[in-house]
Amino acid sequence: MVARTLFHKIWEAHLVARRIDGREIIYMDRNIVHELHGPKAFEKLRKAARRVRRPDLTFAVQDHTISSQPDRDDTTNPEGTPFLRAQRAGAAEFGFRIFDVGDPDQGISHVIGPELGMVLPGATHCVPDSHAATVGALGALSFGCGTTELEHVLATQVLAMKRPKTMRINLEGRLQPHVTAKDVALHIVGTLGVSGANGHAVEYAGPVVRAMGIEARMTLCNLTVEMGGRSGFVAADETTLSWLEGRPFAPVGEDWNRALAYWRTMHSDEGARFDRDLTIDCSALEPQITWGITPGQVIGIRDSVPASLGEEASDQHAFTKALTYMDLQAGEPLQGLKVDRVFIGSCTNGRIPDLQEAAAIVRGRKVAEGVVAMISPGSTIVRREAEALGLDTVFRDAGFYWAESACSMCAGGNGDRGRPGERVISTTNRNFEGRQGPGVRTHLVSPGMAAAAAIAGAIVDVRQLAEA
């Protein structure tokens, strides 16, 4: 038998046919649609008199434009109202389940998909959202898509794709205390660059990954697209299988037992060849923070803003642009810079272990004067669980705003935004210009680092507060 990668095992198991234009037709086991793209695709289906071919494998969520305010409804964020209503109308018309405003299981697509057991190891999955790779943490192959591709998968339950190349990133060593999956992910993007994985499906492997819980693996996979990868994943192991057992949509009984046997074969074989095979030692890794306007412009918390990005004119232009936007100087340390706003949440860092990591820093302390600090759990289930654990009290007592589940400040599509010129410390995945509001300066960090910044009122090393 030829040694095969996990990517090839999943891809070949889902390969339906080859089209005349050379693209491969890949079956999608699950399709989760959010309301920013859904309504547009539904409109196109209606115009072409097409139906949704497999409504039983299709799910709708309300996450991008839904307000994060308690007691929210369709009208709390007026900009979202038409999206929320059109999404609901589409789900009713085409006959699939919607996790709507007010549903006890409402949440961000990449959070509730795994949480409810909708995403399974060895499965294919798509979402019209570039962070679809998040759920690759369960050993699934997940693709972000555009609106026209969404219409395609709704109408046919397949995507027509070019086969990506394979890349394995071996994460060696052992993480130091308070260094998390987010720091690893940012470090990888910083190392490979924002287009370093273009055209590749990325498998994360090695002892660092094996030691991570499932939620941490989701954070790691989440940032795959920030280096251009369309899919990122971790082979399922016993950690995955015990995490999945008993979740609402997971198989039960004899199906569960048969699935377990199958899933235990779904890993890259010994000796499998990858188009690129990289090793990164994580032993000396420090908490990371972005200084610029791409997730690849990232440094260790004890480092300073670099002196340049390179020799070429385009590098110098990009460097000046980033420094000007972020109001920073070449060579300047970030520690000590005053912070205006802190956001903890999103599909990157909105799960229970993320909130626990932040709460451990916040407990018994107060948010610094003048800092607006907010937590939006990744799902309504996460919110309830956090409340059962008393985490909301820890955050509220410290002066955090305890919001409802939404994409919230990640993309600012639900009205949660910073003000021009504000410096925001955020657990999200993008620090693009204007992403969190016009003129807002975003630094990406782990939940612990964000919590520490909220308490200190400035950019600090989380380890100073953790050990204080």
Of 273-281, 331-339, 342-350, 409-417: span binding other proteins (CB under 8 A): 409-417
The interface region with other proteins, picked from 120-128, 182-190, 329-337, 367-375 by CB under 8 A, is 120-128
Helix H or strand E segment including 15: strand 15-18
Site track for other proteins across 54-73, x = CB under 8 A: --xx-x--------------
Considering the rule CB under 8 A, would residue 387 count as an interface residue with other proteins?
no
Residues 6 or more apart whose Cβ sits within 8 Å of residue 348: 131, 134, 182, 219, 222, 223, 410, 427, 428, 429
Q: What are residue 61's phi and psi, to 5 degrees? A: -125, 160
Q: Least CB distance from residue 175 to other proteins, whole Å?
A: 28
Strands (E), 234-293: 276-281, 288-290
Q: Which of residues 73-112 bind other proteins (CB under 8 A)?
A: 79, 82-83, 86, 97
Among 4, 69, 89, 155, binds other proteins (CB under 8 A): 155
3-class SS of residue 251: coil
- Residues 326-338 as b or e (16 or more Cβ within 10 Å = b): bebeeeeebeebe
Q: How many helices (H) does the chain have, and how many strands (E)?
A: 17, 19
Give the count of beta carbons closer than 10 Å to the beta carbon of residue 431: 28
Closest approach, Cβ 116 to other proteins, in A, equals: 8
Instruction: Quote the least distance from Cβ 61 to other proteins, whole Å.
Output: 14
List 30, 110, 351, 441, residue binding other proteins (CB under 8 A): 30
- Cβ-in-10-Å burial (0-12, 13-18, 19+) of 206 comes to middle
Which are the contacts of 356, defined by CB distance < 8 A and separation ≥ 6? 389, 391
Q: Does 252 bind other proteins (CB under 8 A)?
A: yes
Closer Cβ to other proteins, 126 or 362, answer by number: 126
Least gap, CB of 226 to other proteins (angstroms) = 8
CB 305 within 8 A of CB 325: no
Nearer to other proteins by Cβ, of 18 and 366: the residue is 18
Measured in residues, the chain has a length of: 468
Residues 128-147 that bind other proteins (CB under 8 A): 128-130, 144-147
| Amino acid sitting at position 396 | R
Kindly identify the residues of this chain, within the stretch 263-282, that bind other proteins according to CB under 8 A.
none
The beta strand positions in 85-178, using DSSP E, are 97-99, 124-127, 141-144, 158-161, 165-172
Is 321 one of the binding residues for other proteins (CB under 8 A)?
yes
Contact residue for other proteins among 67, 222, 294, 428 (CB under 8 A)? 294
**Residue in 120, 202, 372, 375 binding other proteins, rule: CB under 8 A:** 120
Q: What is the smallest separation between the CB atom of 211 and other proteins, expressed in angstroms?
A: 28
* 295 vs 300, beta carbon nearer other proteins: 295
Q: In the complex with other proteins, which residue's Cβ is closer, 3 or 16?
A: 16
Q: Indicate whether 230 belongs to the interface with other proteins (CB under 8 A).
A: yes
CA–CA separation, 184 vs 280, rounded Å?
Answer: 10
Smallest gap from residue 466 Cβ to other proteins (A)? 33
Among 69, 103, 157, 384, binds other proteins (CB under 8 A): 157
Q: Which is nearer to other proteins, 199 or 207 (by Cβ)?
A: 199
Q: Is 418 in the site for other proteins (CB under 8 A)?
A: no
48 binds other proteins (CB under 8 A): yes
CB-CB contact of 274 with 168 (8 Å): yes
> Taking CB under 8 A as the rule, does residue 122 contact other proteins?
yes
Helix axes 181-192, 214-222, angle to 10 degrees: 20
Q: To the nearest whole angstrom, how small is the minimum distance from the Cβ of residue 144 to other proteins? A: 4
* Residue-wise burial string across 115-130, b where 16 or more C-beta atoms lie within 10 A, e elsewhere: bbbbbbbbbbbbbbbb
Angle CA 388–389–395, to nearest 5: 105
Nearer to other proteins, 180 or 290 (CB): 290
Q: Does 366 bind other proteins (CB under 8 A)?
A: no
Query: Please, is 81 exposed, middle or buried when counting C-beta atoms within 10 Å of its C-beta (0-12, 13-18, 19+)?
Result: middle
Residues in the interface with other proteins (CB under 8 A) total 79
| Euclidean distance between CA atoms 97 and 61, whole angstroms | 9
149 sits near other proteins (criterion: CB under 8 A): yes
Which residues, numbered 175-214, are part of the site for other proteins (CB under 8 A)? 194-195, 198-199
255 lies in the binding site for other proteins (CB under 8 A): yes
Q: Which is nearer to other proteins, 33 or 462 (CB)?
A: 33
